Structure 1
Amino acid sequence: MEILDPQNTVLTNAEVYNIVVEKKKAFSSAPKDHRASPALRTVIYETLTYLSGSPAATQTEEQIKSLIRALSPYKFTGAEILQLINLRPKTAVEVQLVIEECEERLTEEQVNEIVEIVKQNFPIQSETKNSLEAAEG
């Protein structure tokens, strides 16, 4: 994914993860006098540690686009879609916590449909990690 204007956009956790991984590689291969400061290295390390344990580490651009397309009939706000991508809700309660005025906007069936849409577009994290480890090994 390409960031068009970094000052005026929100990013998914997956996009942040990919950017931080790229920056870490760039800093690692840079000459010693152009490497990141200790404070920046700490931020990079902590960010990667957090995001590596989250769904962001396994989400692909195709999965995100597919989820956005599948959710388009529901007329969610950009912030709600971003939260659905980042949090990957697995239960109806988790969806209700993310969607503002969920009880008025969605039926119980629709909430359950959203849970299924998320599950279809984003495989369960542990299964994805196992398949990634098998592919690398």
Structure 2
Amino acid sequence: MKVVNARDSFLTNYEVLAHLNATKAKYEEEGKATGNHAMKAGNLETVMMELRDYLRHTPSATQSDEAIESFMSRAAPFQLEKVELLMIINQRPKGLAELDVLVEELESRLSEEQIEELLGLVRECFGGEEDGGEMEVDEA
């Protein structure tokens, strides 16, 4: 596999899912145009399908670029590391216990009020799972 655009940054699960959906759509269009199955590597197709299926059952399935950008700008005062922000976006913590696993030394870095404010920001930007179950969205 060839790296088209080298990046020195992290990707959210949402960005990976969006890329996979766009890649699948591209291959389907190429397949319609040529009449052949455009994706030649069977293993690649399997990996992409399984990864898409997995990501469709995670918080990334219901996120948007706008929500992520809003969260990132509004979370700046908390002075969290990029990887911590990434994990918060990917996992969408609902409580202190989940957030504590994602943010190193959480209680020594943030006050109780800041922790509640951060959890409120997560709920506001990304919503929450009312039923606590898996998420499923229609294929794009």
TM-score range, shorter chain: 0.7 to 0.9
The equivalent of 2:116 in structure 1 is 112
How many pairs were matched up? 128
Task: Give CA deviations for 1:30-79 in whole Å, capped at 9, x if unaligned.
Answer: 23264241101101110110000111111000000111111100101100
Task: Give CA deviations for 1:76-121 in whole Å, capped at 9, x if unaligned.
Answer: 1100110111011110111111111112101122111111110001
- For the aligned residue pairs, the C-alpha RMSD in angstroms reads 2.3
Give TM-score, length-normalised by structure 1.
0.84
* Contact 2:75 2:118 (C-alpha < 8 Å) held by counterparts: yes
The equivalent of 1:10 in structure 2 is 10
* Runs of 5+ consecutive residues of structure 2 not aligned to the other structure: none
Counterpart mapping for 1:33-72 below 5 A = 34-72=38-76
- SS of aligned partner of 2:15: helix
Counterpart mapping for 1:51-130 below 5 A = 51-125=55-129
- Hey, what's the Cα distance between the residues in 1 that align with 2:50 and 2:69? 27
Higher helix proportion, which one? 1
The equivalent of 2:26 in structure 1 is 26
Change (3 A) 1:91 1:55: same
Percent identity, aligned pairs only?
30
Change (3 A) 1:44 1:98: same
Q: Tell me which of the two structures has the higher relative contact order, counting C-alpha pairs closer than 8 angstroms and 6 or more residues apart.
A: 2
- Hey, what's the Cα distance between the residues in 2 that align with 1:34 and 1:25? 11
